[in-house]
Amino acid sequence: MSEATIVVDGLRKRFGSTQALDGMTFTVQPGRITGFIGPNGAGKSTTMRVILGLDRPDSGAALVGGQPYRTLRRPLCHLGSLLDAAALQPSRTARNHLLWIAHSQGLGARRVDAVIEEAGLQGVARRAAGGFSLGMRQRLGIAMALLGDPPMLMLDEPFNGMDPEGIIWMRGFLRSLARQGRAVLVSSHLMSELQDAASQVVIVGRGRVLADTAVADLLRTSSSLEEAYLKLTRDAVEYRAANGTEAAR
């Protein structure tokens, strides 16, 4: 198995009466962008939280480069992630926010300044991050994900709050990461954002994978990614209804 591969294997996780993850299984390969798509509540964020060791699954496992995330000593040098762009202390400057994260990985201020530039934050790095627009915070999150120059990246809704220019920048940026041979997992609930960028899609619903396929293959049976997505997730809704009847019996 390649070193830069994220493996999600049979994750199950229940929150109260909700089965958030119901056997979630897929692999993220290096050198391409894998779109992670599904309706709200499909289990995308929970899967990502499990990969990061923030949530513990009831069963199943997630491996990052062959290891559980929680055992990694400098995890951000293996897997860079952006889960919640707003999860920062609002009065701390963007640069200081990146600096404490860099220090935790044994990295220094030089690396911080490099990622600030890569994410296009030079002008605002010494401003309090709390005053940033969501789009700017996404860029800050990208900077954070890049700190450890990781072979794997995982971004949850990175297009959220971005203006059209930002979306175009983000798409190009993600593509360049994949071209460098990195494994890139990008969640989104909008197909259009990932169009032309992702080469593989994992479509999920109700905590499990509905389809894990090359975009090119999907387009062979459907006229657009969007149509394929709607067809698949509609089936998921029907599945839910059938399941409910079964449970009532």
Partner 1 sequence: MTGVLRSEWTKFRSAPGAVWLLVAVVAVTVAGGAATAATLRCPSTGCTGDPAEISLTGIQLSQAVVAIVAALMVGGEYRTNMIHTTLAATPQRIRMLIAKTAVVAGVVALAGAVAVPAGVLVGRPMLADRGLTLALSDAAVQRAAFGSVLYLVLIALLTVGVAVIARDAAAAIGVVLSLLYVFAILAQMVPDAELRENLREIAPMTAGLAIQATVDLASLPVSPWRGLAVLAAWAFGSLVVGGVLLKARDA
Binding interface with partner 1 (CB under 8 A): 49, 52-56, 69-72, 74-76, 81, 83-84, 86-93, 96, 99-101, 103-106, 144
Q: What are the angstrom distances between the C-alpha of 147 and each of 30, 153, 194, 232?
A: 19, 11, 24, 36
Q: In whole angstroms, what is the distance from residue 50 CA to residue 73 CA? A: 17
Shortest reach from residue 225's CB to partner 1, in Å: 30
Backbone angles phi, psi at 68, to 5 degrees: -65, 140
Shortest reach from residue 238's CB to partner 1, in Å: 31
**Residue 72 or 190 with smaller CB distance to partner 1:** 72
**Residue 70 or 220 with smaller CB distance to partner 1:** 70
Q: In whole angstroms, what is the distance from residue 53 CA to residue 127 CA? A: 31
**Residue 81 or 200 with smaller CB distance to partner 1:** 81
**Residue 93 or 199 with smaller CB distance to partner 1:** 93
Shortest reach from residue 114's CB to partner 1, in Å: 18
Shortest reach from residue 52's CB to partner 1, in Å: 5
Backbone angles phi, psi at 217, to 5 degrees: -65, -40
Q: In whole angstroms, what is the distance from residue 1 CA to residue 216 CA? A: 24
DSSP 126: T
